[in-house]
């Protein structure tokens, strides 16, 4: 049997190694959410920063619940492989991580209180935060928020842990860490700040005021297409590195990170790892969320309806590509003109990335958690278009595809509101109007003016009827010719 990856010795020369002495650098970052995306993105940028500028900025990674990846990383001395897939694949070993914590909230809290931790970063996915985005407040009905408000000394969730750690640091006279959300949420820094303040104020108004005055929550835009690791990933990594690596990830060559430069306790030289520091992340983030993630969701639901397993399969389907282009143009029309963005070039680059034949990104994976993703990907831009007198047709069509897909499932979809969605689908039966209205009325999904707009609602409903009557292929043909 092949030996596990545990050290940097004896690896084949074509495998890229960390460009610095791991033992010479201490830890400065606690990262929550050791998913594939973090390992393929921030971990790589941090490795590049350490190689270029050094500093005590290695990462202690943690998962709130699952233990598999932390255990795999601990058995590998924190090392793991990133496989960049482009046809001529490239394997890099990442050295930035050290010991990892899995499913032990008390250990996470202890680490977050350690003065050497100066940045707490997160990729926990949209649904884990427990923030009411419309109210810009903690959501006391979110299970982790409710539990942590009742027992704030033993927090289990994101807002509870951040608040408890900041409270302990304040009490001990230790400077607070900077909180860095790296999830695909609009204005993720201010949003997380609002969630933490809402949570803290419910416990202690002075603490809330102190956090508001002393803690930085810079916003970020993160981008790297990272499919879930498969057996094939692990087998290919083993072939290239001659080691067994149970924490390996595969990803595309492209990577982008735009960060608001507000780090009172310092930060790694991420610019050396090609991150871009800006004063306002919002235009970059809107372009990415609306054009990349928005069209990803369109591909995901259309792909699910048409039995297309991977994003790249959709890119080999001419009518779908035309639909995706049209969607990207609609998204581009919502972006601020004065920000100096180039959405046309961006769209072409996205189409090429989506078509990467070496990346097997499953439409099923992207289709998950629609009620968490679609507000910022589709409904916010659609509402912007509505208010500006623009054409919301592409968004009505995308929404109808999502509804038609929901109407076709027999099990609750993989979504925090999956059971409710299935219930609404069952209640509506074949009634397109009832389905459209009941789903669009879900709290926090679509801005109220969009959900109540007769033109938008009837366009969704007509498209839904068409898809259900004639099939998605026929509906796409009609739509593109209308
Ligand atoms: C995808 C994203 O799963 C999804 O919802 O749209 O994970 C996407 O691949 C990344 O945001 C790309 O940076």
Same domain assignment for residues 300 and 266 = no
Which two three-digit tokens encode residue 446? Answer: 């679509």
DSSP per-residue string spanning 297-325? HHHHHHHHHTT--BHHHHTT-HHHHHHHH
**pLDDT score of 338:** 86
- How many Cα atoms are found within 13 Å in the side-chain-facing hemisphere of 276? 13
Nearest CA to ligand 1 atom 4: 366
Same domain assignment for residues 119 and 180 = yes
- The SS3 call for residue 244 is strand
CA distance 266 to 102: 27
The answer to whether residue 198 sits within a structural domain is yes
The answer to whether residue 17 sits within a structural domain is no
Nearest CA to ligand 1 atom 9: 225
CATH number at residue 360: 1.10.1040.10
Whole-prediction pTM:
0.97
Q: Ligand 1: distance of its center to the CA of 285 in Å?
A: 13
Q: How many CB atoms lie within 10 A of CB 197?
A: 22
Same domain assignment for residues 261 and 399 = no
**pLDDT score of 339:** 84
Q: Ligand 1: distance of its center to the CA of 36 in Å?
A: 11
Choosing from 278, 308, 324, the residue where a domain stops is 278
**pLDDT score of 445:** 97
Please write down the long-range contacts of 69-75, taking CB distance under 8 Å and 24 or more positions apart.
69/34, 69/35, 69/100, 69/102, 69/247, 70/34, 70/100, 70/101, 70/102, 70/103, 71/102, 72/245, 72/246, 72/247, 73/34, 73/97, 73/100, 73/247, 74/99, 74/100, 75/4, 75/6, 75/246
Choosing from 263, 278, 293, the residue where a domain stops is 278
CATH number at residue 167: 3.40.50.720
Ligand 1 atom with minimal separation from the 256 CA: 13
Same domain assignment for residues 256 and 380 = no
Range of the structural domain that residue 398 is part of: 282-481
- Ligand 1 pocket by Cβ (under 6 Å): 184, 223-225, 293, 296, 365-366, 373
The answer to whether residue 292 sits within a structural domain is yes
CA distance 98 to 28: 11
Choosing from 278, 304, 324, the residue where a domain stops is 278
Same domain assignment for residues 96 and 236 = yes
Same domain assignment for residues 252 and 152 = yes
The answer to whether residue 433 sits within a structural domain is yes
Ligand 1 atom with minimal separation from the 41 CA: 13
Ligand 1 atom with minimal separation from the 366 CA: 3
Q: Ligand 1: distance of its center to the CA of 373 in Å?
A: 10
Closest CA to 259 of 196, 325, 321, 179: 179
Return the best residue to mutate from 40, 85, 184 for the ligand 1 pocket (most ligand atoms within 8 A of CB). Answer: 184
Return the best residue to mutate from 44, 127, 225, 255 for the ligand 1 pocket (most ligand atoms within 8 A of CB). Answer: 225
**334-360 CB burial, b ≥16 within 10 A, e <16:** bbeeeeebebeebbeebeebbebeebb
The answer to whether residue 211 sits within a structural domain is yes
Return the best residue to mutate from 292, 350, 367, 376 for the ligand 1 pocket (most ligand atoms within 8 A of CB). Answer: 292
Ligand 1 atom with minimal separation from the 226 CA: 9
Number of domains in the chain: 2
**pLDDT score of 482:** 86
- ipTM metric: 0.99
Same domain assignment for residues 355 and 266 = no
Same domain assignment for residues 268 and 366 = no
Q: What angle do CA 352, 94, 184 make, to 5 degrees?
A: 50
The answer to whether residue 5 sits within a structural domain is no
pLDDT in tens, the chain (482 residues): 899 999 999 999 999 999 999 999 999 999 999 999 999 999 999 999 999 999 999 999 999 999 999 999 999 999 999 999 998 999 999 999 999 999 999 999 999 999 999 999 999 999 999 999 999 999 999 999 999 999 999 999 999 999 999 999 999 999 999 999 999 999 999 999 999 999 999 999 999 999 999 999 999 999 999 999 999 999 999 999 999 999 999 999 999 999 999 999 999 999 998 899 999 999 999 999 999 999 999 999 999 999 999 999 999 999 999 999 999 999 999 999 888 899 999 999 999 999 999 999 999 999 999 999 999 999 999 999 999 999 999 999 999 999 999 999 999 999 999 999 999 999 999 999 999 999 999 999 999 999 999 999 999 999 999 999 999 999 999 999 98
Same domain assignment for residues 269 and 306 = no
The answer to whether residue 380 sits within a structural domain is yes
Same domain assignment for residues 250 and 353 = no
Same domain assignment for residues 292 and 148 = no
Same domain assignment for residues 206 and 338 = no
């Amino acid at each position: 049997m092949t030996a596990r990856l545990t050290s940097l010795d004896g690896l084949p020369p074509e495998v890229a190694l960390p460009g610095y002495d791991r033992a010479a650098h201490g830890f400065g970052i606690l990262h929550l959410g050791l998913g594939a995306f973090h390992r393929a993105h921030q971990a790589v940028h941090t490795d590049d920063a350490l190689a270029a500028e050094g500093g005590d900025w290695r990462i202690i990674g943690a998962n709130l619940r699952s233990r598999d990846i932390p255990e795999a990383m601990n058995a590998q001395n924190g090392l793991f492989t990133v496989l960049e897939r482009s046809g001529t694949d490239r394997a890099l070993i990442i050295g930035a991580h050290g010991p990892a914590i899995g499913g032990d909230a008390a250990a996470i809290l202890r680490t977050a209180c350690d003065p050497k931790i100066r940045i707490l970063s997160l990729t926990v996915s949209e649904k884990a935060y427990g923030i009411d985005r419309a109210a810009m407040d903690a959501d006391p009905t979110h299970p982790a928020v409710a539990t942590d408000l009742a027992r704030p000394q033993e927090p289990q969730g994101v807002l509870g842990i951040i608040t408890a750690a900041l409270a302990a640091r304040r009490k001990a006279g230790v400077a607070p860490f900077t909180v860095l959300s790296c999830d695909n949420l609009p204005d993720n820094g201010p949003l997380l700040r609002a969630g933490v303040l809402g949570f803290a104020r419910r416990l202690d108004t002075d603490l809330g005021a102190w956090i508001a005055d002393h803690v930085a929550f810079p916003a970020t835009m993160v981008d790297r297409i990272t499919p879930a690791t498969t057996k094939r990933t692990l087998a290919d990594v083993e072939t290239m590195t001659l080691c067994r690596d149970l924490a390996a990830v595969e990803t595309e060559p492209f990577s982008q990170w735009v960060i608001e430069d507000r780090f009172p306790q310092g930060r790694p030289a991420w610019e050396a790892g090609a991150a871009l520091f800006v004063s306002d992340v919002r235009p970059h983030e809107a372009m990415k969320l609306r054009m990349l993630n928005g069209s990803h969701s369109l591909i995901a639901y259309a792909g699910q309806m048409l039995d297309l397993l991977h994003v790249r399969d959709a890119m080999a389907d001419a009518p779908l590509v035309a639909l995706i282009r049209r969607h990207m143009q609609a998204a581009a029309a919502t972006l601020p003109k004065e920000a100096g963005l180039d959405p046309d070039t961006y769209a072409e680059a996205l189409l090429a990335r989506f078509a990467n034949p070496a990346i097997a990104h499953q439409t099923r994976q992207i289709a998950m958690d629609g009620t968490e993703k679609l507000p910022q990907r589709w409904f916010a831009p659609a509402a912007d278009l509505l208010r500006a007198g623009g054409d919301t047709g592409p968004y009505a069509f995308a929404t109808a595809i999502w509804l038609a897909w929901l109407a076709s499932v027999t099990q609750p979809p993989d979504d925090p509101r999956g059971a409710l969605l299935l219930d609404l689908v069952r209640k509506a039966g074949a009634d397109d109007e009832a389905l459209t209205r009941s789903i669009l009325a879900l709290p926090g999904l679509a801005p109220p003016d969009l959900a109540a707009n007769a033109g938008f609602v009837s366009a969704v409903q007509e498209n839904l009827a068409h898809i259900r009557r004639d099939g998605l292929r026929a509906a796409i043909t009609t739509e593109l010719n209308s």
